[in-house]
Amino acid sequence: MAAPSPIKEILLAIGEAIRAEMIRLADSNGKYPLRDNSKLKRTLRVEVTQGRAASGRFEGYTANAQLQLYAQDYAQWLDRGRKPHTKKVPIAALLQFIKDRRLRWKHKKTGRFLTANTMAFLIQSAIYKRGIRGRNFIQPAYDVGENLVDIYLNNQLLDGLTYELDRQLQVI
């Protein structure tokens, strides 16, 4: 088995830094922090894929390698929020939310517990009327990753320049 490529290691390190920054920002930018057992925290992952040549064959981990981040579908809504009076949130997603968190609400007047469908409808109506403020955690995390790539490229450029200068000085 071949040794791991430095490009792969660097991209994985940058990806992990982006992932950690996304989790940190998602925790700190909202009214409520993410739970420790949050699906978003558990499933946010980074992969480095091999580059492909023009013929479609894999080249290995070269400069064409890609960094891919995977997250839950609702990460975009958590990041950007939801404007009021737009398309309603699907009831099925809200029912799953209620089931996952084992929410139980009591009616103020009767004291009876509300059904999951009633709670989902109430949450859907509230989101439709008021919207949800976004946490803005994806783009700032990508900016951190971009800065890390710039630092890496600058280091590579400096290494190349010093190598060329050393080579030229040895000729003289």
Phi and psi (nearest 5°) for 114?
-80, 150
Domain that includes residue 121, residue range? 84-130
Provide the percentage of residues in the chain whose pLDDT is more than 90.
36
> Among the listed ranges 76-80, 134-138, 149-153, 165-169, which one has the minimum average pLDDT value?
165-169
Burial of 141 (0-12, 13-18, 19+ CB in 10 A): buried
Indicate the length of the chain as a whole number. 172
Whether 110 and 35 map to the same domain: the answer is no
Residues 112 and 39 both lie in one domain: no
Amino acid at site 112:
R
Q: Are 69 and 104 in contact (CB under 8 A)?
A: no
* pLDDT tens per residue, range 88-116: 999 999 999 899 889 888 888 888 999 99
Could you report the per-residue pLDDT of 18-32, keeping only the tens digit for each?
Answer: 999 999 998 887 777
In terms of domains, do 3 and 59 share one? Answer: yes
Please tell me whether residues 59 and 142 are part of one structural domain.
yes
pLDDT band at 119 (very low <50, low <70, confident <90, very high): very high
- Provide the 10 A C-beta neighbour count for residue 165: 10
Tell me how many domains the chain contains. 2
Mean pLDDT of the chain: 84
pTM for the full predicted model: 0.71
- Do 94 and 19 lie in a common domain? no
Res 3: pLDDT = 47
Residues 138 and 75 in one domain: yes
Distances (CA, A) of 20 to 10, 80, 146, 171: 15, 19, 14, 47
Same structural domain, 112 and 145: no
119 and 139 together in one domain? no
